[in-house]
Structure 1
Amino acid sequence: MAERWQIHPVTPQARLIEKAAERIRDGALALAPTDAGYCLAWGLNAREAEERVLRLRELDSRHPFTLLCRQLSEAGRLARLDDRAFRLMRSLTPGPCTFILPASADLPKRIRNSGRSKRRDIGIRLPAHRVSQALLEAVGEPLLSTSLVLPGDEAPASHGAEDVAGRWLRWADLMLDAGDCEPGPTSIVDCTGEEPVLVRQGFHPVAL
């Protein structure tokens, strides 16, 4: 049965963060708050959790999940950042913005070889929410994530904690309940071409 833990959104309780991190390291699928709504999050090697997400959202194995990172240096190990992309990410992170970047050779093998072809681009976020930041620090490595969109929906129905729990907790192993989150979505910036391109304007407007 999934567990739901009430956690402070600004000063999260260390014991709950460590408990959640331990569960995630053991392969759990978590509902976690971010600065752009709740998301599903799981470890890089949590194959069973990822398979559940694929079935739940009716996605194929080529779907590009977003990597949540602790800091810019960690993102720089997973993606190839030129000076322009580095400066842009430094100015917009942490915050509700997803960056599409060329994958580096250091991208974990399972992520790089996911789907039917080798991954050339990846999506990276550095969330500003204190709970997600603390969770990433405790886990000690990036987490894979996806938005709370069920088949047939164009966007999450709600990011209110009660609505998220009622709609999603049955399919997760745990929820870090930090109360209602800002709704999202993130802005999406594609940094794989000659110039950055704003693919989607999020709920916090971004100027490139």
Structure 2
Amino acid sequence: MAKLIKLYQDNPSQKHIQEIVKVLKDDGLIIYPTDTVYGLGCDINSKKALEKIARIKQIKLEKANLSFVCDSLSNLSEYVSQINSNTFKILKRNLPGPYTFILPGNNNLPKVFKKKKTVGIRVPDHSISLEIVKALGNPIVSTSIKDDDDVIEYTTDPSLILEKWDKLVDIVVDCGYGDNVPSTVIDLTADEPLLVREGKGSIEI
């Protein structure tokens, strides 16, 4: 059964942050808040946890479009091959923020992602997600939690999330109601930015 941990954005309990980090390092899964929708996440270095996410999402891990949630631009540069000054300006201007930027990956990608030439990078404008990543010391691999409902695409109430995901994850981080609009996805691998999905972030890149 999943544990519900209540955290407050302005003063998150470090004890609880460390508890979440321990679960991540022990191959666990968490559901946590971002500046857009709640996300399902695991430690980037845990193959076992990544395989659990692939099973839940019913996808092949090596083909999965999962995002890497980083705490800063320098954190992000560990997994991305050299980016030009124009791309860097776009990232610096918009991060932290409600964007997923698709960038060329490098050799530091975990083994299961080695065949992927690109990687989706997020730096959410949300203190809880950034605190967790900082305390963990490396990115969280993340995907939005979608609802089966035809009307409500994303569940925003942590108590309903707990009810639905109770047997699938180890921790649900409750930071109040989440948003129901996902991140804006922009591909920066070509000469010009390409809008892949319009979401919460402004598309005036």
Question: Residue 92 of structure 1 aligns with which residue?
Answer: 94
Aligned counterparts of 1:190 and 1:154: Cα–Cα separation in 2: 28
* Deviations, residues 31-87 of structure 1 (Å, cap 9, x unaligned): 111111111110123222222222222112211211000100111121122111111
| SS across alignment from 1:31 | strand
Aligned counterparts of 1:171 and 1:193: Cα–Cα separation in 2: 38
Answering whether residue 204 of structure 2 is matched by residue 202 of structure 1, we say: no
Give the alignment partner of residue 176 of structure 1, picking from 157, 166, 173. 173
Aligned counterparts of 1:152 and 1:58: Cα–Cα separation in 2: 18
**Relative to structure 1, is the Cα distance of residues 163 and 205 closer, same or farther in structure 2, using a 3 angstrom cutoff?**
farther
Contact 1:11 1:130 in 2 (8 A): no
Percentage of pairs with the same residue: 28
**Relative to structure 1, is the Cα distance of residues 153 and 85 closer, same or farther in structure 2, using a 3 angstrom cutoff?**
farther
**Relative to structure 1, is the Cα distance of residues 56 and 153 closer, same or farther in structure 2, using a 3 angstrom cutoff?**
farther
Q: How many residues align?
A: 203
| Matched letter for residue 30 of structure 2 | A
Question: Residue 18 of structure 2 aligns with which residue?
Answer: 18
Question: Residue 50 of structure 1 aligns with which residue?
Answer: 50
Aligned counterparts of 2:107 and 2:80: Cα–Cα separation in 1: 8
| Matched letter for residue 20 of structure 1 | I
Deviation at 1:177, TM superposition (A): 0.9
Deviation at 1:166, TM superposition (A): 1.9
Contact 1:31 1:169 in 2 (8 A): no
Question: Residue 164 of structure 1 aligns with which residue?
Answer: 161
Aligned counterparts of 2:157 and 2:147: Cα–Cα separation in 1: 16
Relative to the length of structure 2, the TM-score reads 0.91
Question: Residue 28 of structure 2 aligns with which residue?
Answer: 28
CA RMSD of aligned residues (A): 1.9
Aligned counterparts of 2:201 and 2:108: Cα–Cα separation in 1: 31
Contact 1:2 1:172 in 2 (8 A): yes
Aligned counterparts of 2:144 and 2:178: Cα–Cα separation in 1: 13
Deviation at 1:155, TM superposition (A): 7.2
Comparing 147-156 and 92-101, the one that deviates more:
147-156
Deviation at 1:173, TM superposition (A): 0.6
Aligned counterparts of 1:170 and 1:109: Cα–Cα separation in 2: 28
| Matched letter for residue 127 of structure 2 | R
| Matched letter for residue 56 of structure 1 | I
| Matched letter for residue 135 of structure 1 | I
Deviation at 1:119, TM superposition (A): 1.1
Contact 1:58 1:151 in 2 (8 A): no
* Deviations, residues 93-126 of structure 1 (Å, cap 9, x unaligned): 00110000011233233432xxxxx110000000
Relative to the length of structure 1, the TM-score reads 0.90
Contact 1:9 1:179 in 2 (8 A): no
Comparing 195-204 and 64-73, the one that deviates more:
195-204
* Deviations, residues 167-188 of structure 1 (Å, cap 9, x unaligned): 2232101111111112221001
Answering whether residue 77 of structure 2 is matched by residue 76 of structure 1, we say: yes
| Matched letter for residue 64 of structure 1 | N
**Relative to structure 1, is the Cα distance of residues 54 and 106 closer, same or farther in structure 2, using a 3 angstrom cutoff?**
closer
| SS across alignment from 2:78 | helix
